[in-house]
């Protein structure tokens, strides 16, 4: 039987594929992404991390019980530690200025994604928060496990580090758990269901736009 999360993904297949097969991913895996493009992308993504941290915190708060709260809290801790270290190391390697690390000018794509996450947080709905989390994590797992990612030509830590953060057993288990949560909390109420579908679709569009924006100065 097709699960709720699979149906949501299929309903957004064109945009999802456009993100997974994006030029940015091609170049990252090949190790040929321009330093300026990668720096611009990472500077914006560090700002994305702010609302994403809120989203994980809201998921922890909106989860129905301790059994669901614990994996979310663990991921929040990992995100605040290992992923943050990757950003700092990469900013150093790419000579990103202090201003761009702390308060860069935001692209339209970053602002739009930020709004989607804040809308999900404000809903306080577990299913709505999960919808955005599922897109942000599952779509990244998808590109990081593309067939050409098995033996990526990339060797620099800034490239390999970003790929490795989004693949491997722990990340796959996390994404499987997230999609399972969304399936288990598929809304029965039509209005709530429509909100979940809308947030999921907006998030997928934002993912593609976020990669596009890496090439826009």
Residues that bind ligand NSP (CB under 6 A): 45, 48, 113, 136-137, 140, 207, 210
Minimal distance in Å, beta carbon 77 to ligand NSP? 15
Are 203 and 116 within 8 A, CB to CB?
yes
Considering the complex, state which of residue 25 and residue 63 has its C-beta at the smaller distance from ligand NSP.
25
CB of 136 to ligand NSP, least distance (A): 4
User: How far is 188 from 204, CA to CA, in rounded Å?
Assistant: 23
Q: Tell me how far, at minimum, the Cβ of 191 lies from ligand NSP, in Å.
A: 27
Which residue's CB atom is positioned nearest to ligand NSP?
Answer: 136
* Residue among 27 and 187 whose Cβ is closer to ligand NSP: 27
138: Cα within 13 Å, side-chain hemisphere: 25
- Where are the alpha helices (H) located in the chain, listed in sequence order? 4-11, 13-20, 23-30, 35-62, 66-78, 84-93, 98-102, 108-123, 126-144, 157-164, 169-184, 190-213
Nearer to ligand NSP, 22 or 195 (CB): 22
Rounded distance between C-alpha atoms, residue 33 and residue 25, angstroms = 9
Q: How far is the CB of 188 from ligand NSP (least distance, A)?
A: 29
- Residue whose token pair is 């290992």: 82
User: Residue 101 or 193: which CB sits closer to ligand NSP?
Assistant: 101
State the nearest-atom distance from the C-beta of 79 to ligand NSP, in Å: 8
The nearer residue to ligand NSP, 112 or 193, going by C-beta atoms, is 112
| Cα-based distances in Å from 180 to 13, 93, 109, 188, 204 | 19, 38, 28, 16, 19
């Amino acid at each position: 039987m097709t699960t709720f999360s699979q149906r949501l993904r299929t309903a957004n297949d064109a945009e999802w594929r456009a993100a997974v097969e994006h030029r940015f991913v091609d170049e990252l895996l090949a190790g040929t992404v321009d330093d300026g493009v990668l720096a611009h992308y990472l500077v914006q993504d560090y700002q994305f991390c702010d609302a994403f941290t809120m989203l994980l915190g809201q998921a922890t708060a909106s989860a129905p019980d301790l059994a669901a709260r614990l994996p979310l809290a663990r991921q929040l801790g990992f995100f605040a530690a290992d992923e943050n270290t990757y950003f700092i190391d990469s900013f150093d390697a790419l000579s990103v200025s202090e201003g761009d690390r702390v308060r860069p000018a935001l692209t339209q794509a970053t602002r739009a994604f930020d709004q989607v996450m804040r809308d999900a947080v404000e809903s306080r709905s577990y299913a709505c928060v999960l919808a955005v989390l599922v897109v942000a994590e599952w779509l990244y797992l998808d590109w990081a496990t593309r067939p050409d990612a098995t033996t990526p030509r990339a060797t620099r830590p800034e490239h390999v580090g970003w790929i490795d953060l989004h693949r491997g057993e722990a990340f796959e288990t996390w994404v499987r758990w997230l999609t399972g949560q969304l399936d288990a909390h598929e809304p029965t109420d039509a209005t709530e269901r429509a909100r979940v579908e809308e947030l999921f679709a907006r998030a997928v569009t934002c993912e593609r736009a976020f990669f596009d924006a890496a090439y826009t100065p």
